[in-house]
Each structure stands twice: as C-alpha cells, then as structure tokens.
Amino acid sequence: MLPWLVVALGLCAQLGTALPPRRMDTVLQMVEALEAAEELSLPELARALGSCSTPGCLAVLGDPPAAPPDLPALSPEQRALLTHLLRPDPAVPERGAVLAPDGSTVALAPLLAGVEVGLRMAGGWPGPTPEPPAALDALYAVTLTEALGMAFLLAHAHNHSGATLGPSGCWDDVENPQNFTLLGPPSPVPEAVANGALDGVLLGARLAKGPVPLAPLLRSYYGTDNGTASGRPPSSYRRRDFGALTGLKKLEEEVVAMLRLLRVLPPTRGLLEDVGEEEEGAIARRAARDFMETFVECPAIVPRCMWGARPYRGTPKPLSLPLGSVYIHHTFVPSAPCRTFAACARAMRSMQRFHQDTRGWDDIGYSFVVGSDGYLYQGRGWHWVGAHTRGHNTKGYGVGYVGNFSATLPDPDAIALVRDSLLPCAVRAGRLRHDYALRGHRQVVNTSCPGDSLFQEIRTWRGFQ
C-alpha cells in the first residue's frame, strides 16, 4: 500500500473518525478541492489508485500515473474514502459506488474513466496507441464494453449460467450512506456499474466537444446543491439520453471491437482461443441487446428499501404470471406530482402509512408508483398480489401516478415511462401477456380515479379496453 494511504487510514483509525458519506456531493467536494489546488485531477488520481486496472482499460489509457506522495488538498478521511471507493475488486464491482441526489447509485470507476477520455479528446488525443485490431471507440471501451464483453464471454463459456447483468441494491442509510448491498445474485455489471458507464459515456461525450471545469459539469449533471430541490437533474434522464446517443447496432459494434482487442492481449487471449468469429458476433449481439433492454429500454425502479418501506404485514400472496391486465390509478392524495427522489420517497411512505394504518391493508396497495422524477417506485412489485383494484387484484398490476390528474396530465416523461417503457418491458420479461388489457380504475370500480385528464390519455394507449 502507498505510504500516504497507510498514514491516512491509520489516522482515521486513531481518531475513530467515520469515513465521509458515500454520496456524490462528497466526491464533488474532492473534485473542487483538487481543482482549486491545481493538483492531480480526480480522474488521474482514480487511475493512480488502480481504478483502471483491467487489460482493456490499460490498453486504451496506458499505464496509470504515479501516486502522489501527498495530497494536502484532501483530508485524511477523504483520501481514505477514495481508496475504499477506487481500489479495484473484480468480485465486488459495485463496491466503488456512491449515492447520487436522484436516488440512483453510481460506480465511480467507469464514470471517471469516461470523463478522462472526454478530456483527452478535447485536448486532441488521437486515441489508443498502438491502434487496436479493430476500430474501437475509447469512450465506450473504458466505461462499458470491456465489462459487458467479459460478462457475456464468461457466460458463454459456462453455457450461459449465472447472472450477467444486475441487480440493483440498497444503502443502509440514504442520509449517511456507508454500506451498499445488492438485492440479488451478483454479476459483473450490476446496476451501479451500468449507471456509472452510462454517465461516463454521456459526460465524456460532452467533454470531448470542448473542455469545461469538471466540478461545475458534475454539479450540473447530478443536481448537487442546486436543482434537486425543485426538479429533475440531468442524471435522471441517463437512460433516455444514452439511448438517443447509442443505438443497438453501435453498442454491438463496440462490444465486437473490444472482444477483438481482448483476443490479442496476453491476460485475456486464452479466453477467446476457442471462440470463432461467428460466436464472437453472437456474444456481442446478446450483450448489446440484453444491456439495452435492461438498462436503457426498461425503466429504473426504486426498490422498497430505498424509499424506506415498512415491512409487509402478514404473508404476501404470490401472483400467477403472466398477468392479463393493468389498472391505471392516480393517488389523488398526495395531490401534487413529486419531482425529486426525496419528495417521491416521502410520498411513498405517506401512502404506505395511510394504507396500513387507516385502511388496514397489509402494505401499500399499488404494484408500482410513478413519480415525476423519472423513476418508478416499487410497491408490492411484480410477484405479489396488491390492493389496488377491488375484485381484480389477482388479475393485474396496479400502477399509480403520484398526483391529482382530474384536470391536468402527468408530465410527458411520466406518461412515457409507463406507456413506452414499463409495459413493453413487462411483456418481454414474461410478467404481462402480450395481449394484455389496460383499464382505468374507474372502469371496474365506482370511482373517479385515475382522474378525467389521465383517463382520456390512457384511452390512446396500446391495450386499452
């Protein structure tokens, strides 16, 4: 271990001081301190600490810079946190993640690698040297395609056994996040790594157009300290924006290019010795398709543990999938749409208390709730019978929009989140029949829900009956 890191860690232990919270604003404070001191930039420091240690990343960006003997701009606690976040651990790739203001979790290594490539491109960098054996976009190589290609290459070698993408996870405390736990079997590309890769590509592409100071760019993108109190930060649009920038064909081509690079690098050459060109193409197609479906075309869903759900009361009853119906609701109370993670999480907790304590239900009634912050929130989820549409709870999912939509419509993005993302995704996953029926709550229960305006809107959706 580097001497200055030993001192930093030792000092933290001696003082009994906890590490700073693993939040994006903590990272941005370090960026600002390094920029003000005109010392090593955070992307360079990340590589010095080993964040770019895989064969493909090293081939593209070259050997890392030497670690500085001292960084007076950062406190010992900040240096210790950076070491924790950026020391590579292939078995736990989500370890180097932080909580963003929009409620998403972002791995720093792919984010900072994309930022470094963008800064180099803005400075006239010609790309990797020597030239790899196939046309390779450095921005995708260091953020996404090596991890994606390796994940699906190994799955192919083991007959597709084991998870290749996902899952999401939860923090121990969203106010002071220190520990992050996955919600399912680990994979090489959990959601935190995917978020970091998406952000790395988007921010790297922005920086490649012209250099700008990193701290203001990151603050603007994540909405840290300015923007999340009133509305959505750009980071909540990452899936939409990545999809607009990167089509399926482009991603497939970049995975092929990375596999061809890995084929000639000594550490990975043996993995591809028995993989022919046709198999290589099949691996790349599956990797690109699955990634785009999972992390671009399907919506992000905030799990219960992130919005602070109480435990379910009693024993949940399983649904028999696929279901044949979807019932659209509005919450009416809360009457105002929620536009931030904090506001939507409060709304979820409020509704759960009302449903459990006042109505006497086992849990919040909806299967999913739609915020105007760009995210869906898990209620009872995909697999458990809800309490949303009397007499029909075993037949379909209940999807509720936060707000009163009697006279106004939800934001266009919130409408598209269900119509264009959630429903097609549920069909592809086998959770909803392809010939599903979509109805407003009022069609099966004596109620004005989901409001006149929203009901007129859903009449135009596929499956409405």
Instruction: For residues 249 and 145, state if they share a domain.
Output: yes
Q: Is 74 inside a domain boundary?
A: yes
Task: Provide the whole-model pTM.
Answer: 0.93
- In angstroms, the Cα distances linking 160 to 145, 254, 275, 425 are 18, 21, 15, 21
CA 419 – CA 228 distance, rounded (Å): 25
Dihedral pair phi/psi, residue 56, rounded to 5°: -65, -45
Bridge pairing between strands 169-171 and 323-330 = unpaired
Instruction: For residues 139 and 73, state if they share a domain.
Output: yes
Task: Give residue 313's pLDDT.
Answer: 96
Q: Is 101 inside a domain boundary?
A: yes
**Per residue in 136-147, pLDDT tens?**
999 999 999 999
The last residue of one of the domains, among 277, 297, 317, is 297
Instruction: For residues 269 and 400, state if they share a domain.
Output: no
Task: Give residue 161's pLDDT.
Answer: 58
Task: Give residue 90's pLDDT.
Answer: 79
pLDDT above 70: residue 156: yes
Task: Give residue 3's pLDDT.
Answer: 36
CB 254 within 8 A of CB 132: no
The last residue of one of the domains, among 297, 319, 352, is 297
Q: Is 417 inside a domain boundary?
A: yes
Q: Provide, rounded to the nearest whole percent, the portion of the chain with pLDDT above 90.
A: 80
pLDDT above 60: residue 1: no
CB 285 within 8 A of CB 349: no
Q: Is 368 inside a domain boundary?
A: yes
Higher pLDDT, 204 or 154: 204
Task: Give residue 251's pLDDT.
Answer: 98
Task: Give residue 7's pLDDT.
Answer: 34
Instruction: For residues 336 and 282, state if they share a domain.
Output: no
CA 203 – CA 112 distance, rounded (Å): 9
CB 291 within 8 A of CB 251: yes
Task: Give residue 225's pLDDT.
Answer: 62
How high does pLDDT run on average in the chain? 91
Instruction: For residues 179 and 208, state if they share a domain.
Output: yes
- Name the nearest CA neighbour of 206 among 218, 195, 192: 218
CA 40 – CA 42 distance, rounded (Å): 7
Q: Is 335 inside a domain boundary?
A: yes
Q: Is 463 inside a domain boundary?
A: no
Instruction: For residues 23 and 65, state if they share a domain.
Output: yes
For the record, the structure tokens of 428 come out as: 């592809």
CB 110 within 8 A of CB 200: yes
Instruction: For residues 373 and 394, state if they share a domain.
Output: yes
pLDDT above 50: residue 8: no
Instruction: For residues 86 and 217, state if they share a domain.
Output: yes
Task: Give residue 224's pLDDT.
Answer: 83
pLDDT band at 132 (very low <50, low <70, confident <90, very high): low
pLDDT band at 340 (very low <50, low <70, confident <90, very high): very high
Residue 28 contacts by C-beta under 8 Å, 6 or more apart in sequence?
Answer: 215, 218, 219, 222, 224
User: In which domain, by residue range, is 317 found?
Assistant: 305-458
CA 65 – CA 47 distance, rounded (Å): 7
The last residue of one of the domains, among 256, 277, 297, is 297
Task: Give residue 158's pLDDT.
Answer: 76
Q: Is 193 inside a domain boundary?
A: yes
Q: Is 237 inside a domain boundary?
A: yes
**Per residue in 192-237, pLDDT tens?**
999 999 999 999 999 999 988 999 999 999 998 644 456 789 999 9
Instruction: For residues 23 and 136, state if they share a domain.
Output: yes
Instruction: For residues 258 and 358, state if they share a domain.
Output: no
Residue 336 contacts by C-beta under 8 Å, 6 or more apart in sequence?
Answer: 403, 404
**Per residue in 79-119, pLDDT tens?**
899 888 988 787 888 889 999 999 999 999 999 999 999 99
Number of domains in the chain: 2
Task: Give residue 442's pLDDT.
Answer: 98
Residue 130 contacts by C-beta under 8 Å, 6 or more apart in sequence?
Answer: none
3-state helix, strand, coil in the chain (%, to 5): 50, 10, 40
**Per residue in 32-57, pLDDT tens?**
998 888 877 899 889 998 899 999 99
pLDDT above 80: residue 247: yes
Task: Give residue 2's pLDDT.
Answer: 36
CATH of the domain at 343: 3.40.80.10
Instruction: For residues 232 and 320, state if they share a domain.
Output: no
Instruction: For residues 276 and 411, state if they share a domain.
Output: no
**Per residue in 54-84, pLDDT tens?**
999 999 999 999 888 788 889 999 989 988 8
pLDDT band at 4 (very low <50, low <70, confident <90, very high): very low
CB 419 within 8 A of CB 370: no
Task: Give residue 89's pLDDT.
Answer: 82
**Per residue in 405-444, pLDDT tens?**
999 999 999 999 999 999 999 999 999 999 999 999 999 9
Task: Give residue 131's pLDDT.
Answer: 64
Higher pLDDT, 381 or 226: 381
